Amino acid sequence: MIKFKYNLFFFTFLVFSLGFSQRGETGDKTFADKFPPDVIYEISSSALLIRNTVDHDIIVCIRDQYKKYLNHIYIRNNDEFLFTGIPITRLYVQYKSKEFYFEDKEHTVINYGERHTFDFFFDASKDGNFIQISQEEFLKP
């Protein structure tokens, strides 16, 4: 009987620990095997702060004015991440939210030494500023 209790405790502990280990940490490179190396321009001294204010985790991809890949990152809900070394360009922000992929309709202009902030939020009473895109478009280099 005692052995059964220990086995039950161990099994329960294992199940819960595996369940929590599936969730990444802010800053993880979730799709590192699907994207080319990150593009970083240290001399630009510019940065982009991404805040995730929605109730679930997201994966953010930033692209240049030609929609070429620059960087991507995993951000937990109610957390933020600072992209540094952003090239001087117009940025497009794409993100994966649950099983859907989106792109911001607007672009963010990055100039030398500037720091911009981009907030993800959801307001059911307003039309979003995002368009839905395909997984292929999100993952293209």
Residue 54: CATH number of its domain:
2.60.40.10
46 inside domain: yes
5 inside domain: no
Query: What is the model's pLDDT at position 128?
Result: 67
3-state secondary structure of 21: helix
Which H or E element spans position 82? Answer: strand 79-84
14 inside domain: no
Closest CA to 58 of 37, 42, 38, 73: 73
Mean pLDDT (the chain, rounded): 83
Query: What is the model's pLDDT at position 93?
Result: 92
Residues 8-17: tens digit of each pLDDT? 566 665 555 5
Mean pLDDT of 65-88: 93
Number of domains, the chain = 1
Q: Which domain holds residue 107?
A: 24-139
Query: How far is it, in rounded angstroms, from Cα 122 to Cα 109?
Result: 23
Six token digits for residue 113: 């030494």
Query: What is the model's pLDDT at position 12?
Result: 60
17 inside domain: no
10 inside domain: no
Residue located via tokens 């059911």: 124
3-state secondary structure of 10: helix
Residues 87-127: tens digit of each pLDDT? 999 999 999 988 899 898 888 898 898 898 888 776 544 56
Query: What is the model's pLDDT at position 97?
Result: 86
Q: Which residue has the higher pLDDT, 38 or 24?
A: 38
64 inside domain: yes
Which H or E element spans position 13? Answer: helix 2-21
Write down the pTM of the prediction: 0.76
